[in-house]
Every structure is written in C-alpha cells, then in structure tokens.
Amino acid sequence: MFIELLKAAVLGIVEGITEWLPISSTGHMILVEEFIKLNTSDAFQEMFRVVIQLGAILAVVLLYFNKLNPLTPRKSLQQKKDTMAIWYKVVIGVLPAAVIGIPLDDWLDEHLYNYQTVALMLVVYGVLFIIIENHNKGRAALVQTFHQLSYKTAFLIGMFQVLSLIPGTSRSGATILGAILIGTSRTLAAEYSFFLSIPVMFGASAIKLLKFGFDFTGEEMMILLAGMLVSFVVSIIAIRFLLGYIKTNDFKAFGWYRIILGVLVMGYFLLFD
C-alpha cells in the first residue's frame, strides 16, 4: 500500500507542475506511467489521470479566491460587478471546449491518446511558441487587464482551448498561445488560462467519475486522495513560479523544452515499444 501511495505522490508532483506550465501534463503523464504504473485496474488509472487534476484546480481557487469571489463584503458594488464580469468571460471562453469536447470525449480517448499524437503535438506547439514569441518581440500587448478583455476576445481564446482536446497540446499552452497571438499580455493570458481551467477540469473530472462510478475500494480512495493532495501543494508552487517567471521572460524556453521532450517521447517508444 505504501508503494502505491508513493507512486500516486510522484504522479501528483508531475501533474502539479505540468498542468500549469505550457508543456503538456498528458505528455508527461504518458511518459511517467511507462515507469510508474499503479497496481489498479485500467479503468481506475484512466479516471485517476483526470480526477487528480481536482487538486490542481483547488490550488487556483485558493490563490485567486478573493479575486474570483463576488460575494465578499469587502468588495464595493462595482468591484463585485467586475468580478462577475470575469466569470462571464470565463463562461464564454469555456463554451467552445464544452460543446465540442463532451460529445467527442470517448472518441478522443480511443483514437488520439497515444504517444505518436502526444509527441507530434509537443513538437508542433513548441515550434509555435518560439515563432510567436519571436514575432511579438518588442510589441506592446493590446490587452493588459480583465477589464480590457472583451467578450469577443474571450471567446476566441476559448476556441484556441479547443485545440487542447488533442493530447500533448497542453490546455494552458493552447490558451496562452492563442491569447498572446490575439494581443493579450503574458500575465493576463496565464491568469485567464488558470480561470478557464476551473469549470473545464471540474467538468472533465465529473464525467470521468460518473463513467467510473463511485464504488471505490478503500485503497483506491487513498491513492486518489494522495495524488490530489500532492497535486494541490505542487500546483501552488508551480503557479507562483510561472507568474514570477513571465514578468521578465517569454515562453520560448518552454517551446524548446516541448521540442526536446517530444523527440524523447517518440524516440523512447520507437525503441522500446
């Protein structure tokens, strides 16, 4: 049992880091699971891979609780309206992924959840990060705050999030890349990506839990909770790191990292699969 909890903790660390950095949590989980396999059913592992994200989401809720809470008495009426406007823009941004992703969930798992797709997407979006950052070098972002973020722009960013339905793309990578391309600042792009993840991941986790059912064994419950707890703690560290990093750096380093990882993933599976 201790070994399984240790495995869950390692997977939680991987999830907590890679969920927020634009480097694809799916790509890393596929690679790590080649070496660290939970001694559970395939159905549980598929559910665990998604539901572990709830820990990561709770980190966003904690870090941004005041900013996202429209009910606090400490806010003025205008501040409460501004907070609700953020949520409206989140809903607008989530709609494309919900409308397209929910009906295709099973098909995507069956046909695209493989190392070839993941490796290709890691490289493709790594190259795009470098190209777009080079293109935007020296250009001032047109949208710096949530107040400046229009509903049209929020929807367009949500359309980019649809791309993340393809494993290896990275949800944060697709939304951040799209937001920067449209003209938002890196900080706003990252924060909006964080906020979009709240309903998306809650929804994805709910779907997986419903498919799996709630008939957990005691050991399975402990493994899931351990993974979520570690993911929560590591996510807080990863989010704070990313927000500090992008104040003085661009995303090209993540682009090069994705390219290298994509090549390693493809090479590993071609040699050992």
Q: Give per-residue pLDDT as tens, 216-235.
A: 888 888 999 999 999 999 99
Rounded Cα distance between 168 and 273, Å, is 18
- Alpha helix (H) ranges present in the chain? 2-18, 25-33, 42-51, 53-63, 65-68, 77-111, 115-136, 151-162, 171-182, 186-212, 218-245, 252-272
- 131-175 pLDDT, tens digit per residue, is 988 988 878 888 999 999 999 999 999 999 888 888 888 888 899
Q: How much is the mean pLDDT over the chain?
A: 89
Rounded Cα distance between 80 and 222, Å, is 39
Number of domains in the chain: 1
Note the pTM of the prediction, 2 decimals: 0.88
Predicted local distance difference test score (pLDDT) of residue 136: 82
For the chain, give the percent of residues with pLDDT over 90: 51
- Give the mean pLDDT of 45-52: 85
Asked whether the predicted pLDDT for residue 263 surpasses 80, the reply is: yes
CA 110 to chain centre: 20
Structural domain boundaries enclosing 65: 2-272
Asked whether the predicted pLDDT for residue 70 surpasses 80, the reply is: yes
Using DSSP's 3-state secondary structure scheme, residue 143 falls into: strand
Structure tokens at 51: 């539901």
